[in-house]
């Protein structure tokens, strides 16, 4: 980076330093209270916290998977359809993004409950006899989280497909490649960046989820953010909260590094 390019970035760097780096370092300092690793020993040594870390990662992975499953085709479609339909798609994707997570979570409670809209439709249509357990369990948490996070997958995929040079696709078509082959050999490898970006954003945001699992999971689905919040607000054990946060941060970086290594060859291809 030349110095000329450096100076305009100074305000942003200062902002990052004071409002991101500095607090994170302070937090790490908290976690090492009295120069001991006791709180880390507790975070990593007690079955309870490891279980919750594991739960959190499992949920984040599944949410990422479902977001990809739903988000890729949608982003792809929006990037390749007519401008009018793309606009309609954008409205549907972005509108929920501007609505409060809490409102959306409550809306799901109305829709998914035992006497909710979905179950009543299913029962009236004679498809099921007893209401399906869609709420206050793992399923409810999945539905709610995927809904909240889907836009973060759709948008990078959309961007990646748009950036793709249509001439490559035209050339492949001209050479007689099947559409399946075009997808596998051209679209997929060349949009991997978008997939990767979307997946990382969704995964990382999932890790910190709090309200949605608490309300849609019936209290049984416990994610690490809930325990950290408890340590901050209820038990006032800030050193331990800091240690839990630091462990979460370290895991997140590890996953990120792993994912990046995994996708690098295609990235430069």
Partner 1 sequence: MDTRKLNRRQAVSLLGGAAAVGAAGPAFGQTEPPKPAQIVVNHSGGSMGTAMRKAFFNGFEKKYGIRVVETSPADFGKLRAMVESGNVEWDITEIGGQDAIRATKLGLVEKIDGKIVDRSGYPEKVRTDFVFASSVYTTIIGYRTDVFKNGTQPKSWADWWDTKKFPGARSMRNHPTDNLEFALIADGVPMDKIYPIDFDRAFKKLDQIKPAVTVWWSTGQQPAQLLLDKEVVLATGWNGRFYDIIKKGAPVAIEWNEGALKQGSFVIPKGAKNPYWANKMLAEMSVPQQQAVYATELGYPGLNLESLKYVDDKVKPFLPTQYIDKQFWIDDAWYAENGNKAIELWNAWMLKKA
Query: What is the binding site for partner 1 (CB under 8 A)?
Result: 47-48, 51-52, 109-110, 113-116, 135-136, 214-215, 218-220, 222, 227, 230, 232-238
CB 186 within 8 A of CB 168: yes
CB 109 within 8 A of CB 219: no
Instruction: Classify 136 in phi/psi space as left (phi over 0), alpha (psi -120 to 50) or beta.
Output: left
The CA–CA distances, whole Å, from 247 to 30, 39, 119, 191, 208 equal 13, 11, 40, 32, 13
Closer CB to partner 1, 151 or 213, in the complex: 213
Whose CA is closest to 117, among 105, 132, 99? 132
Closer CB to partner 1, 100 or 115, in the complex: 115
Minimal distance, residue 48 CB to partner 1, in Å? 5
Minimal distance, residue 20 CB to partner 1, in Å? 18
Closer CB to partner 1, 114 or 181, in the complex: 114
Closer CB to partner 1, 41 or 258, in the complex: 41
Closer CB to partner 1, 49 or 66, in the complex: 49
Query: How far is Cα 71 from Cα 63, in angstroms, rounded to an integer?
Result: 11
Minimal distance, residue 234 CB to partner 1, in Å? 7
Minimal distance, residue 256 CB to partner 1, in Å? 27
Minimal distance, residue 86 CB to partner 1, in Å? 38
Query: How far is Cα 64 from Cα 198, in angstroms, rounded to an integer?
Result: 9
């Amino acid at each position: 980076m030349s110095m000329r390019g450096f100076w305009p970035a100074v305000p942003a760097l200062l902002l990052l330093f004071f409002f991101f780096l500095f607090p994170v370092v302070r937090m790490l300092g908290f976690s090492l209270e009295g120069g001991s690793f006791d709180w880390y020993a507790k975070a990593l040594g007690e079955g309870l916290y490891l279980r919750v870390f594991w739960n959190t990662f499992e949920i984040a992975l599944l949410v990422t998977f479902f977001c990809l499953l739903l988000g890729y085709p949608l982003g792809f479609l929006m990037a390749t359809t007519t401008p009018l339909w793309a606009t309609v798609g954008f409205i549907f994707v972005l509108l929920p993004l501007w609505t409060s997570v809490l409102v959306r979570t409550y809306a799901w409670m109305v829709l998914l409950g035992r006497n909710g809209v979905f179950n009543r439709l299913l029962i009236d249509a004679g498809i099921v006899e007893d209401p399906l357990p869609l709420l206050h369990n793992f399923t409810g948490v999945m539905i709610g989280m995927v809904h909240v996070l889907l836009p973060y997958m759709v948008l990078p995929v959309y961007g990646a497909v748009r950036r793709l040079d249509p001439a490559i696709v035209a050339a492949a078509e001209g050479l007689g490649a099947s559409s399946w082959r075009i997808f596998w050999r051209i679209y997929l490898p060349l949009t991997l960046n978008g997939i990767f970006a979307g997946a990382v954003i969704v995964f990382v945001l999932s890790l910190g989820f709090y309200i949605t699992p608490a309300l849609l999971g019936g209290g049984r689905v416990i994610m690490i953010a809930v325990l950290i919040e408890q340590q901050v607000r209820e038990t006032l054990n800030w050193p331990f909260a800091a240690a839990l946060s630091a462990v979460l941060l370290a895991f997140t970086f590890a996953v990120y590094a792993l994912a990046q290594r995994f996708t690098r060859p295609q990235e430069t291809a």
